[in-house]
Amino acid sequence: MNGPIALATVALLSLTAAAPAKAQTPLTEGIQIGLSTDAVSITAGFSGADLTIFGSLENPDPLVARQGRYDVIVVLEGPPKPVVVRRKDRVLGVWVNLDSETFENVPVSYSVATTRPLQDITEPNSYKQLSLGASNLYMQPADAGDSPATIEEFTAALRERKAAAGLYSENVGGVQFLSQNLFRATVRLAPNVSVGTHKARAFLFKSGLFVKESSAQLEIRKSGFEQSIFRVAHDYSFLYGVFAISLAMVTGWLGRLVFRKD
C-alpha cells in the first residue's frame, strides 16, 4: 500500500519545485479532456444517448475565470465517409433524382457542445480558421470542376439533411464549469450514430480568443445479436444467403405441417 502514497508525494514535490520557476512568466492556459472509456458499445435497442466528457483547464487565470471569460467548445466528430447528395426534380410530373454531388471525407456525425451560443464566443472568422462548427466544416467535392454555386447549394443541403437526421447537432450550454478549472460537456449521440473511431476535441477560448485544443479518441461499436447478423451478412455473404433461403424453406415446410388443412 505504500506505492500510491509515495507517488503522490513525488508529484506534489515536483509541482512545488516547478511553480517558482514558472511564476516569472505569465502562465499559458491549457485544456485537457478525459473519457472514462475509449470504447462505447451500442446495443440493438439504442435510441440515442448523451455522452458526458470531463475536462479541465490548466493554469486558469482566477480573475478571467471569475468573470466567466473562458469558453469551451467540445466537438464529437464521427468517422469521415464519402457522401452523395441528390436533388429531386420534376420530369414529366414525376419526381426524379436528377442532379447529384459527391463529397469526400464528410464526418458522419458532428455534435457540438458549448458554454454559450457560438456567435457569443468568438468571431465567425476564427471559427472558419479552426474549421469549427457544422456550418464551417469544409466539405470537399469529389469533382471540383462543378460550378461554385452548385457546390454551395449541395453543401448547404448536406448540412441541412445531416442536421435533420440529428447527426449534426449543437448543444448550447452543454459545457458547464463545475469549478474554476473543471468542466463537463454533454454531447448528443444520435440513435443512428455510426460505428467507428470518433474524435472528441475540446477548444478553449479566453475572452474571445482561441487558446488551445485537445483531443481524444472514442471507438463506437455495436454489440449484440443483431450486430453479429450484420457482420455475418457482410463477411460471409454467401453463407448468409444460403442460411436465409434455408430459413425460408424450413418455415414454409413447418407452416404446412402445423397448419395443414388437406
Partner 1 sequence: MGIYLPIAEISVNVFVLLAMGAAVGFLSGMFGVGGGFLITPLLIFYNIPPAIAVATGANQVIASSVSGVLSHMKRGTLDFKLGGVLLAGGIVGSTAGIYVFGFLRRLGQLDLFISLLYVVLLGTVGGLMLVESINALRATRSGAAPVLKKSGQHNWIHRLPLKMRFRASKLFVSVIPVLGLGAGIGFLSSIMGVGGGFIMVPALIYLLKVPTNVVIGTSLFQIIFTSAYTTLVHATTNQTVDVMLAFLLMAGGVAGAQYGAKAGQRLRGEQLRALLALLVLAVAIRLATDLFVTPPNLYSLSGAGLN
In 3-state terms, what secondary structure has residue 4?
helix
Sheet strand arrangement including 196-206:
39-42, 209-222, 196-206, 70-77, 110-114, 168-172
Confirm or reject binding of residue 144 to partner 1 (CB under 8 A).
no
Do residues 222 and 41 lie in contact, with contact meaning Cβ atoms separated by under 8 Å? yes
What sign does the dihedral 137-140-144-150 (CA atoms) show?
A: negative
Residues 95-124 that bind partner 1 (CB under 8 A): 95-97, 100, 102
Question: Which residue has 448528443 as its cell numbers?
Answer: 188
Confirm or reject binding of residue 233 to partner 1 (CB under 8 A).
yes
Minimum gap (Å) between residue 196 Cβ and partner 1: 13
Confirm or reject binding of residue 130 to partner 1 (CB under 8 A).
no
Q: What does the DSSP 8-state code read for residue 256?
A: H
Q: Which helix (H) or strand (E) holds 94?
A: strand 94-107
Among 66, 88, 128, 221, binds partner 1 (CB under 8 A): 88
Minimum gap (Å) between residue 247 Cβ and partner 1: 6
Among 139, 162, 198, 204, binds partner 1 (CB under 8 A): 162
Give the total residue count for the chain.
262
Q: Measuring CA to CA, which residue among 127, 86, 120 is closest to residue 103?
A: 86
> Per CB under 8 A, which region of 31-39, 69-77, 127-135, 156-164 contacts partner 1?
156-164
Among 33, 76, 85, 121, binds partner 1 (CB under 8 A): 85
Confirm or reject binding of residue 247 to partner 1 (CB under 8 A).
yes
**Count, residues near partner 1 per rule CB under 8 A:** 59
- Give how far the C-alpha of residue 70 lies from the chain's centroid of Cα atoms, to the nearest Å: 23
- Which residue ranges make up the site for partner 1 (CB under 8 A)? 44-47, 81-89, 93-97, 100, 102, 142, 154, 157-158, 160-162, 164-165, 191-192, 226-227, 229-230, 233-234, 237-238, 240-245, 247-249, 251-256, 258-262
